[in-house]
Structure 1
Amino acid sequence: MPDWVSLCVVVSLLSLLTLASYILYSGLLSEIAVLTGRPPIKKITFAYKFKQGPYRNSGQLFKESNYIGPGLAEIGVFYDDPKKVPGSLCRYAVGSILSEGENKADEELLKRYEASGFNVYSFPEVTHAVTTSFPYKTFFSILLSVKRVYPQLEHYIKERRLCAHPFLEVYRGGHIHFMVPLARQGDFYVPEVRQIERRLSEQEESHSDTDVSGADSNSEYSSESGVLLSDSRETSLAASSVRSEPIRDQGNRDYRGSGGNSIKRPDWEQTDGQQEERDEQLHEDSNQKSQEVPTQAWWGVVGEE
């Protein structure tokens, strides 16, 4: 009997050591260095499928994509903050990178992905992005990266008040490369995201038209998803984690988020006292200027709004 007990203890200790080694090998203690600079990928063309739902379900798309093109680098693009957006509404795109830089995608491989229901899209090369990497040794590496990497990325972006979105994961070379663009963010939103936001914007406009409060019905900003709509691929979309007001991309010249914008009050929204002072001032000025000048001045006011 004591021999069996000793054997069980030994087996238990070996199991614990094996598990501990597995977790360590997966990247438990790996250093995470978050940087700002050139991302790990250049211009890419990739095949993808778009889904809306909990991010934990994205694994199935990774498997499907890898089955068609084994050995290709895989990519996942995640558009919403799961802490602020319900899981059923989270949007993501997953697929395989078909070509990078000036290289062209293999036509036969392209047809195989399209035959399996994948779409094809391209992301541009950018010079500024928040980046880091994590070892990709085992399946457990993915779980560790979610727990360890994302909090540091979010802290880095928030601390420096950066306008960075969406979040990309690239699996290749035994590493998970994380990338959050700081410029041309709008180019990293696949067409399906724009379609969803366009429908939400139309619903919002329809609701505003019937709202007796007189709310502006021309807003292009969806408060539910936090994305600024634009048909131009040169215009940035607002990050899903920023829900107070839309933020537009400033290009490569200025990729920092705004620290707090003041809203200019239109002339027709001024208080009665302000309007009386303005009328008095206009009356005094009219005695000193010709009638042609006010016309030009009012045109300037309209042009500024």
Structure 2
Amino acid sequence: MPDWVCLCVIIILLLSLLIIAVFIVYSGLLSEINIQTGSPPIKNVTFAYKFKEEPYRNCGQLFKECRSVGPKLSCIGVFYDDPKKVPGQRCRCAVGSILGEGESKPSEELLKRYEKSGFNVFSFPEVTHVVTASFPHRTLLSVLLGVRRVYPRLNHYIKERRLCAHPFLEIYRGGQIHYMAPLARQGDFYVPEVRQVERRLPAGEESHSDTELSDSNSEYSSGSGILLSDSRETSRAPSSVHSVLSPDEGGVDYGEGSSAASASKQLDWELSDGQQGTGQEQNHGASDQKSLDMASQEWGVAVGGEE
């Protein structure tokens, strides 16, 4: 092979590597990541979603469906399980489009369009405190890079400060991926299907949660305790908008997984060995167990993939 041909091949390879390197950097490889506690990136929202119980790496198809129905709307993903602790086929997520935010209400035509495509409609309240971070959303690779870079820092931040933050949301808007985990009213961020999945769990199956439930309506939670709001103060969309209240769980533990990347576990309110409390308290515990059969679990990855 002539020398000039070899030289051309080398130059082409070097240029290819340079282009790949520039593409990865542009996608967010070196972007600064700031984790903080403060106001959420979204207000109270109404969104259309589809619920799936499957490996998070398959969630990309749900986002495509959302964009096909409402290409100009912001996408949102909510992730309830930690793929390192829950089998991939049982990881739960809700992926959809934001139809209305704050005082803005979705139109009946928009609601019908999404419902015709098989989406459900739900509303989230606006909370005062969340753990949040952002990452550039410039290419498809940005989603995976966000998972690899943002979630380990979120994990460290939450554990270091002993916060109770779950589930994990990802909001795609304005060329940014906004990561958010509420520190209050976590139960209001669990769609109805999460409770239905918990009820299908086989009897006697071990819960993934070691935390205890605390009946508190505090607007801010820290430490290993669990805070639960028993009211939904968010404004509701038309009659097709549904709500659910779910128990919460303490801190989260997620590895380097997808975009976004949360937590839900079955709650067990049995008194130890039947020896604690009076007979009246035990009956009360049994009654509570029927009505509170779901709790949150530590969460990990989201859209781009999982480990």
- TM-score range, shorter-chain basis? 0.7 to 0.9
Q: CA RMSD in A?
A: 2.8
In structure 2, distance between residues paired with 1:125 and 1:259: 21
Task: Give the C-alpha shift of residue 148 in structure 1.
Answer: 0.5
8 Å Cα contact 2:28-2:135 kept in structure 1: yes
Task: Give the C-alpha shift of residue 24 in structure 1.
Answer: 0.5
Can you list the C-alpha shifts for 1:239-291, whole angstroms capped at 9, x where unaligned? xxxx2133447444440132799xxx99x948xxxxxxxxxxxxxxxxxxxxx
> Is residue 2:212 matched to residue 1:246?
yes
Task: Give the C-alpha shift of residue 196 in structure 1.
Answer: 1.2
- Structure 1 segments of 4 or more deviating over 4 A? none
Partner of 1:258: 224
Partner of 1:166: 167
Can you list the C-alpha shifts for 1:78-114, whole angstroms capped at 9, x where unaligned? 0001111110110001010000001110221211110
- What is the one-letter code of the residue matched to 1:183? A
Partner of 1:60: 61
Partner of 1:16: 17
Partner of 1:78: 79
- Tell me: CA distance 1:24–1:301, structure 2 relative to 1, closer, same or farther (3 Å): closer
Partner of 1:136: 137
Unaligned runs of 5+ in 2: 227-249, 251-270, 286-307
In structure 1, distance between residues paired with 2:117 and 2:219: 40
- Tell me: CA distance 1:247–1:154, structure 2 relative to 1, closer, same or farther (3 Å): farther
Partner of 2:258: none
8 Å Cα contact 2:50-2:95 kept in structure 1: yes
8 Å Cα contact 1:183-1:250 kept in structure 2: no
Greater RCO (Cα-Cα under 8 Å, separation 6 or more): 2
Partner of 1:37: 38
8 Å Cα contact 2:75-2:96 kept in structure 1: yes
The percent identity for this pair of structures is: 62
Can you list the C-alpha shifts for 1:153-186, whole angstroms capped at 9, x where unaligned? 1111111111111010000000000000110000
8 Å Cα contact 1:51-1:92 kept in structure 2: yes
8 Å Cα contact 2:47-2:122 kept in structure 1: yes
8 Å Cα contact 1:44-1:123 kept in structure 2: yes
Q: How many residues align?
A: 240
SS in 1 for 2:37: strand
Partner of 2:185: 184
Larger radius of gyration: 1
In structure 1, distance between residues paired with 2:113 and 2:281: 57
Unaligned runs of 5+ in 1: 208-221, 227-242, 271-297
In structure 2, distance between residues paired with 1:63 and 1:253: 35
Task: Give the C-alpha shift of residue 198 in structure 1.
Answer: 2.6
SS in 1 for 2:29: coil
